[in-house]
Amino acid sequence: MSDATNAAKPAALPIKDAGPRGFLVSSPPHLAAGATTQRIMFEVLLAMLPLFGFALYMFRLSAIVLTVATIAGALAAEALGNLMRKRDQSSVYDGSAIVTGAILAFSLPPSLNPYMAFLGGMVGIALGKIVFGGIGNNLFNPAMVGRAFLMICFPAALVSFTPTAPMTAAGVDATTMATPLYAAAKQMDLPSMSALWLGNTGGCLGETSAIAALIGGLYLVIRGVADWRQPLALLLTAGIFAQIAHWIAPDAHPGATFHLTSGAMMFGAFFIATDYVGAPVNPWGRLIFGAGVGLLVMVIRLFGAYPEGFMFAILIMNSLTPVIERVTTPTPFGGKVEA
């Protein structure tokens, strides 16, 4: 199938009448766009830089420590998995484990113990990816599997947020600190709109700044790395849902802008819901997937026991992906082939 193997040893070409000089035989096309899995993963990491930069400003050292810990955990699990399955280590270098680790780190609270983060990265790759057969075969988003594992094992650590240096400087009470969503669920005072957009609030490592997530996300969409369908459907559904809830009970629920800019919404819409493997491949399937995640996030936020539900929403929709794909198989341009 690959002519590269032939290129290495042209003398062994299986041609009977190659004449004085044989040429490579391969199936067209003979050109390629030059995209590789590695390159795609690199672009995703590049798009995460604004978020990382903001996390550095907000959470200082813990941003670096947590990110390094999750990535190290993810890479370790990937390498171990390859060793156990007697595969070559190429999947370590394709960057997918690094992306998984980074996404997991960005969805963890900054005060988390790095050992837990390392464990989360390992479990995410091991149970979320390796057991299904490695890259491309996992049913669930590995980063979210890792986070779910941490959520089960260390529930208290995953929901405790302490204010950081930039915030205490701005006069935030140093002993208690609530995320915007927690505040909304408990009917407390909400942070200002500009704080939500910028990210001057409590929250997970990469989730506080909506604007940084938007910049990175738009980069991915424009570069064609991420599909526009999941984020659009997701944000639209969640926004409409939140706005309707706000109209029905204005005192209990803040409006659409609050929900779209708080918690994991913006980050998740562009970086988690656009994850290739767990989402459907069909255009309509991706719209349904995005809308489903948006709906579930809002249901959990408004009616669930947790203030944030992005992880659950993604995992539930991941499990529905095969069904969605089945019903959204595209019709060929000229109609179904007649039997």
Partner 1 sequence: MIAALRERLSGLKSFQRGIHPPHRKKYSEHAPIELFTPTGDLLIPMSQHIGPPCKPTIKPREEIEYGQIIGDIDHPISAPIHATLKGKTAMTVITTLPGPGGKRCDAIPLKPSEEGAVPENFLASFLDRNWDSVEPTKYEPEEIITKIRAGGLVGMGGATFPTYFKLKRNPDRPVDTLLLNGAECEPYLTADHRLMVECPEGIIVGLELARHAAGAERAIIAIEENKPDAIEALKKAAVGHNVEIAVCATKYPMGGERQLIPAVLGRTVPSAPKGLPLDVGVVVVNVSTAHGIARAVVRDQPFTHRVVTVTGLGVKKPGNYLTPIGTKFSELIESAAGGVTSEAIKVLAGGPMMGPTVPNLNVPVIKGVGGITVMIDQETAHWHETPCIRCGRCIDNCPLYLSPTKIAHAIKHREYDLANEFDMQACCECGCCSYICPAQIPLAQYIRAGKNQWRIMQTKQKATT
Q: Which of residues 62-101 bind partner 1 (CB under 8 A)?
A: 90, 94, 96
Query: Which one of residues 170, 283, 319, 322 is an interface residue with partner 1 (CB under 8 A)?
Result: 283
| Look-up of token digits 């672009």 | 43
Smaller CB separation from partner 1, 96 or 179: 96
Check residue 188 for interaction with partner 1 (CB under 8 A). no
CB of 222 to partner 1, least distance (A): 6
Question: Pick from 128, 153, 131, 150: which is nearest to 141 by CA?
Answer: 128
Q: d(Cα 198, Cα 207) in Å, to the nearest integer? A: 11
DSSP calls for 48-69: THHHHHHHHHHHTHHHHHHHHH
CB of 130 to partner 1, least distance (A): 13
Could you give phi then psi for residue 82, rounded to 5 degrees? -60, -40
Check residue 4 for interaction with partner 1 (CB under 8 A). yes
The two structure tokens encoding residue 48:
């995460």
Region of 203 (left: φ > 0; alpha: ψ -120 to 50; beta: rest) is: left
Q: d(Cα 71, Cα 55) in Å, to the nearest integer? A: 16
CB of 280 to partner 1, least distance (A): 8
Site string for partner 1, 9-28 (x = CB under 8 A): -x--x-x-xxx-xxxxxxxx
Check residue 53 for interaction with partner 1 (CB under 8 A). no
Q: d(Cα 146, Cα 124) in Å, to the nearest integer? A: 4
Check residue 322 for interaction with partner 1 (CB under 8 A). no
Smaller CB separation from partner 1, 281 or 299: 281
Check residue 175 for interaction with partner 1 (CB under 8 A). no
CB of 312 to partner 1, least distance (A): 22
Binding segment for partner 1 among 1-9, 49-57, 264-272, 301-309 (CB under 8 A)? Answer: 1-9
Q: d(Cα 213, Cα 225) in Å, to the nearest integer? A: 15
CB 196 within 8 A of CB 180: yes
CB 165 within 8 A of CB 202: no
Which amino acid, residue 132? Answer: F
Smaller CB separation from partner 1, 203 or 292: 292
Q: d(Cα 232, Cα 221) in Å, to the nearest integer? A: 11
Binding segment for partner 1 among 232-240, 264-272, 294-302, 325-333 (CB under 8 A)? Answer: 325-333
Smaller CB separation from partner 1, 33 or 152: 33
Binding segment for partner 1 among 5-13, 70-78, 186-194, 253-261 (CB under 8 A)? Answer: 5-13
User: To which H or E segment does residue 177 belong?
Assistant: none
CB of 221 to partner 1, least distance (A): 7
In this structure, the number of other CB atoms found within 10 A of the CB of residue 232 comes to: 17
Check residue 36 for interaction with partner 1 (CB under 8 A). yes
Which amino acid, residue 50? Answer: P
Interacting residues toward partner 1 by CB under 8 A: 1-4, 7, 10, 13, 15, 17-19, 21-37, 39-40, 90, 94, 96, 134-137, 221-222, 224, 227-228, 276-277, 279, 281-283, 286, 329-338
